[in-house]
Amino acid sequence: MLRRLPLVVVAVALVVAAFSTAFDFLFFLLYLGLLVVGGSYVLTRLGLSDLEAGYAVSQLHAHVGEQLRVTYTLRNTGHVPKPSLEVHNPTSLPGGLPGRAISLRPTAERSWLVRVPLTRRGHFRIEPLQIRTGDPFGFFESSATVGQGVTVVVYPRVERLPFWRLPAAELEGSHAHRERTLQATPLATSVRPYAPGDAMNRIHWKTTARYGEIQVKEFDLEQTADAWIFVDLQRDIQAGHGDESTVEAAVRVAASVADRAIVENRAVGMTVNAHRQTTVPSDRGARQHLKLMQLLAAVDADGSTSLAESLVAGLGRVRRGTTVIVITPSLERDWIRPLGLLRGRGIGCVVVALDPTAYARYGRTMPAGAVTELDDATAQRTRALHHALAEYDIRNLTLTPGRPLGEVLVG
């Protein structure tokens, strides 16, 4: 309203001057102004009539690194052209969704595709489609909202670990054996020539037809051991910024290990000490995979509970035959003792240590040979941590920025 106040003042002054002086030129300006303003109003009112619009999102769940595709369609079903239409979606996605200004001829249709790279995990909102039009002079404008908003969940990036196997737990059937079992299980791993005494239901008929002699199936024990992942997201111990930070690295490691364990038909549980300690009970299958990814998409490094407290509270849920995987950038040693007591309970343990000093330095230029007292103290604490883990015979893997996760775990 304030934007149009000068226009109203000029219009009132022109009307008063025209009728007071009776000059033809002032009446000409008055009629011209009425024609322009009236035409602009009619054009704006008809700008969104007989208009059909919509948008479609390719997927509501994706991983970091993938692309989100949004398809827009506008159709003018009337006989009045639409010279100016602004189309956009308000969204919380990083980088947003690009809008577009288009025009439509009578009974015409426009469609276009927008590709948005997903660079950050989390829950993001795409609001309903907004269409705006107006007159060329900017006197009037009209807008409309189309459709409903949707929520897009972006899961963390999952790195493939083709050569890594979860360390075997102290339980029969927790890993593949070189000697095949005599039992018939769902895991048929190889075939061999028929031997006297083999059951008829073990014959693999397709291979038999191919080789011209009877071949029977060999089986492996079904893997039943569990994996339990502890992700340390205590606020005070994190380092680095953006994608190359201990927070994002810990989430990527947890997502990749959980994905690999579920592929190996293991039950997976998870405990995260974020804003509040959250635990996903152990389970297996696609549904459990979805639960874990949704949790990792939402967590942030805002926890106040230390890793030692989290382990003391959570290890009671871990049963015999489970392998515990701890992912942490902590240089404290008070959380090692609870892990050292697990072997007596038949529980395996692996620690994936995130080097906080390396993540803090990553991407920063430092003078050659610049080593501060703080760096020396951190190096001493790191050596003491590795020594304490070695004393308890706990497998320790150190992850630094820029190094592939699969290389670290296999190494």
pLDDT tens readout for residues 340-397: 888 778 888 899 999 888 888 875 644 444 445 446 777 888 888 889 888 888 888 8
Q: Which two tokens stand for residue 254?
A: 């947890």
Structure confidence at residue 294 (pLDDT): 94
Q: Which residue has the tokens 């059951």?
A: 199
Q: What is the H or E stretch that residue 353 is in?
A: strand 348-354
What pLDDT, on a 0 to 100 scale, did the predictor assign at position 174?
46
Q: Who's near 190: CB < 8 A, 6+ residues apart?
A: 180, 217, 218
HSE, CB side, 13 Å, CA atoms: give it for residue 289: 14
Same domain, 255 and 386: yes
Same domain, 266 and 345: yes
Cα–Cα distance for residue pair 71/20, rounded to 1 Å: 58
Does residue 181 lie within any of the structural domains?
Answer: no
User: Would you state the pLDDT for residue 370?
Assistant: 45
The parent domain of residue 30 ranges over: 5-45
pLDDT in tens, the chain (411 residues): 555 666 667 677 767 776 677 777 777 777 777 787 777 777 777 878 888 899 999 999 999 999 999 999 999 998 888 888 999 999 999 888 998 999 899 889 999 999 999 999 999 999 999 999 888 777 778 888 988 899 999 999 998 887 777 766 554 444 444 444 445 555 566 788 888 878 888 888 888 888 888 988 876 654 556 899 999 999 988 988 888 899 999 999 999 999 998 988 888 999 999 888 899 999 888 999 999 999 999 999 888 889 999 999 888 888 888 889 999 999 988 999 988 888 778 888 899 999 888 888 875 644 444 445 446 777 888 888 889 888 888 888 888 888 888 888 776
- The reported pLDDT for the residue numbered 177 is 47
* Same domain assignment for residues 32 and 60: no
On whether residue 179 sits in a domain, the answer given is: no
- Residue 234's CATH number: 3.40.50.410
What is the domain count for the chain? 4
Q: What is the DSSP secondary-structure string of 281-323?
A: EEE-SHHHHHHHHHHHHH--S-B-S-HHHHHHHHGGGPPTT-E
Residue 167 lies in a domain: no
Domain-embedded: residue 161: no
Q: Tokens 């949004």 belong to which residue?
A: 70
The predicted structure's pLDDT at residue 168? 60
Question: Do 143 and 153 contact (CB within 8 A), yes or no?
Answer: no
* pTM of the entire predicted model: 0.76
Contact 86, 142 (CB under 8 A): no
pLDDT of 166: 72
Asked if residue 316 and residue 350 are part of one domain, the reply reads yes
Find tokens 């089986």 and name the residue: 219
- Please report, for the domain that includes residue 109, its CATH number: 2.60.40.10
DSSP symbol at 233: -
Exposure of 123 in the CB half-sphere (CA atoms within 13 A): 9
391, part of any domain:
yes
Q: Looking at the structure, tell me whether residues 233 and 351 fall in a common domain.
A: yes
Tell me, yes or no, whether 82 lies in a domain. yes
Question: Does residue 247 share a domain with residue 347?
Answer: yes
- pLDDT digit string (tens) for 125-144? 999 999 998 887 777 788 88
180 falls within a domain? no
Same domain? 277 vs 366? yes
